[in-house]
Structure 1
Amino acid sequence: MAAVKPVRAAGGVVWRPSGSGIEVCLVHRPRYDDWSLPKGKLDPGEHPLTAAVREVAEEADVRAVPQVRLPPVHYAMRDGTPKVVQFWSMRANGAGGFQPETEVDNVRWLPVEQALRLVSYEHDVRVLHDFAALPPVTAVLGLVRHAHAGKRGTWSGPDTARPLEAAGWAEARALAGLLAPIRPVRLLSAAPRRCVQTLQPLAELLDERIEVDSAFDEPLPGQDAEENVLAAAGRLLELALDATSAAVCSQGKVIPGALARLAASGLPARSADRNGRSGASAPPRSADDYRTGKGSGWLLAFAGGRLVAVDRLVGTDRRAAEPG
């Protein structure tokens, strides 16, 4: 007998400043007379991150910025069907998006301690505890590797001018959908054409310009690769210290080392494994653990100058890891 596929859902622990602390958002569903975190089922083909942002907007009337992916929740629904819910911590960034056909009839903002007492389910209690254990996130960056640009051997011009292929443009559009929710105010790219083009759908979506920054370039022949890694890590740290939300496109020989350098500066609160699953707290890892396929990347959360969470972003199912 085939195993029943779990229902996939996503949601958020949405927070906002309040007095000397913060408040989180809970929603009430009259059908079940329960209080829970805003969440909902994924639409066909929808990425959990975009689903989480959408569901929070529709149920709680909150435009929210995702920050850190929390451990997933697994439980059985009332009819016994298994369900898995992926949550993100999210900073409230305005109102809007409420859909009257949702099951929600009331929204409350409460300190975490009060929310823990009000929620109706133990799995929401666990999620709130995971959220409360996070340090205050001050900046979120999206770091991606350029999308597919065809084979070097079939391109007659300079490698820096090699453009995206059709599949690469599809990957770039998928990445734009994942990066837009963090509301980047700066878009930075390595100099090669394929890197700039990878951010182009996002730039058009947000009506932002792309800044070319050679700090994210791969080393040229004869250059010390470690210098490029240090330059990229330094620029990412500068962006984080400015409390800037940004999207950055770099290259495969730069990203792993830069992330390993940043992770080594502090203990990540939570890291994603190679399959994109969040795990418990883990010590910094080697650059090999941050290898990044073309058309994919990472969501980085910082507390001041410390990298506290690294979560993989994959816009499509392609997970290639070729150099270049």
Structure 2
Amino acid sequence: MTVRQTQNAHGKTQSPSSKWTDKAVYAAGAVVWRVVDGKLRILLIHRTKYRDVTLPKGKVDPGEMLAETAVREVHEETGIRVSLGVPVGVSRYHLASQKQKVVHYWAAEATDDAIRESTFVPNREIAALEWVSVKKASAKLSYPVDLEILDFFSHLVDDGALRTFPVIVLRHAKAMPRSEWDGTDAARPLTERGSRQAKSIVGPLRAFGVRKIVTSDAVRCVETVTPLARELDRKFVTTEKISQDAWEDGTDDLRHVVGRRVRAGKPAILCSHGPVLPGLLSEIALATGTIQGSYLSSAADLDPGAFSVVHLSSTNPGSGIIAIETHIPKV
């Protein structure tokens, strides 16, 4: 399940949510964009079977979370590998079977390298790809629900909030209870379920282009990020500055850790503990000049293995939080 909480550049907060049920078909996709000669272009797909023009998207595979579905489907349909940016809405409509289809969309920039590496050729599913202006996209898209997504995307463009980077706040996966552990609290390991959670979130975290991993030095946090670090073939940074022990002792330094990540302007993860998360989200708000509100509390109220993605402006991080979305593992 994925719950999304979105704050736009005007400070308006929306909290749409969706529940996994057998009464709906879930899918995910993206508004893929690039800048050509200083002009914004949107990628449309011309589908062979349906003879329509739409945005790249597709159904969730078993065990997938929505973010990884979006990245996979964009690559399968267009040959372009993307990292997800700001969420741009959810479309809902009924299929011929009377089931509701729920499609989550993100903005996603197509880099020059990704386009050069694309191996797309017309096939039985996709007849053609077309890069067009936002205005032409509005005229060409076949379905009103796609136009609603494009309209939300256009507001991001107008607000200058399209190019972003994420700072992801991750709660460690399920750990052995204190009552069943004889060692120090910091040495508590993950349970079997926690290990499965840690593996299950690798795909969704990769979908946001994460390259930097910073974690509490507690064993349960280190074990949570280890599968991701292995998949990325990158080392993670451990620090007691965002640990629960330091937080309880009053020796933590959340501001220093968050400040470095915001200044770096690169996709990053901060893995910490339930009691510490509200402070981390608060420091992100302070570092970016964002008005604090209940949306921060919601983003910090995470189950084990869940994470909140905080999207910040790449060109002006101090302009405030662009959006926040929360992802909950299905394990």
Corresponding letter in the other structure for 1:36? T
Q: Name the TM-score, length of structure 1 as normaliser.
A: 0.83
Q: Which runs of 5+ in 1 are unaligned?
A: 269-282, 318-324
Please give the residue correspondences for 1:238-249 in structure 2 after superposition, counting only pairs within 5 Å. Answer: 238-249=260-271
Alignment-derived partner of residue 140 in structure 1: 166
| Secondary structure in 2 matching 1:202 | helix
With over 3 angstroms needed to count, the CA separation of the structure-2 counterparts of 1:308 and 1:36, relative to structure 1, is same
Cα distance in 2 for residues equivalent to 1:18 and 1:181 = 24
Q: Which runs of 5+ in 2 are unaligned?
A: 1-20
With over 3 angstroms needed to count, the CA separation of the structure-2 counterparts of 1:31 and 1:186, relative to structure 1, is same
Task: Return the structure number with greater relative CO, CA threshold 8 A, min gap 6.
Answer: 2
Cα distance in 2 for residues equivalent to 1:241 and 1:221 = 23
1:29-64 residue CA offsets vs partner (Å, 9 max, x unmatched): 122221100011122232211111111001111101
| Secondary structure in 2 matching 1:9 | strand
Please give the residue correspondences for 1:167-316 in structure 2 after superposition, counting only pairs within 5 Å. Answer: 167-220=193-246, 223-224=249-250, 228=252, 231-263=253-285, 265=288, 284-285=293-294, 288-289=297-298, 290-303=300-313, 304-305=316-317, 306-316=320-330
Q: Does 1:159 align with 2:168?
A: no
Cα distance in 1 for residues equivalent to 2:210 and 2:219 = 21
Contact 1:266–1:308 (CA under 8 A) maintained in structure 2 = no
How many residue pairs match? The answer is 297
Backbone CA RMSD of aligned residues: 2.5
Contact 2:28–2:57 (CA under 8 A) maintained in structure 1 = yes
Q: Does 1:11 align with 2:29?
A: yes
| Secondary structure in 2 matching 1:66 | coil
Q: Name the TM-score, length of structure 2 as normaliser.
A: 0.81
Contact 1:140–1:240 (CA under 8 A) maintained in structure 2 = no
1:107-163 residue CA offsets vs partner (Å, 9 max, x unmatched): 011221221121111111110111122213331122211111211122222221211
Cα distance in 2 for residues equivalent to 1:7 and 1:199 = 30
Cα distance in 2 for residues equivalent to 1:244 and 1:253 = 25
Runs (4 or more) in structure 1 with deviation over 6 Å come to none
Corresponding letter in the other structure for 1:29? R
Cα distance in 1 for residues equivalent to 2:64 and 2:248 = 44
With over 3 angstroms needed to count, the CA separation of the structure-2 counterparts of 1:114 and 1:222, relative to structure 1, is closer
User: Quick check: which one's helix share is greater?
Assistant: 2
Work out the percentage of aligned pairs sharing the same amino acid.
30
Shift of 1:4: 7.9
Corresponding letter in the other structure for 2:36? S
With over 3 angstroms needed to count, the CA separation of the structure-2 counterparts of 1:121 and 1:247, relative to structure 1, is same
Contact 1:171–1:315 (CA under 8 A) maintained in structure 2 = yes
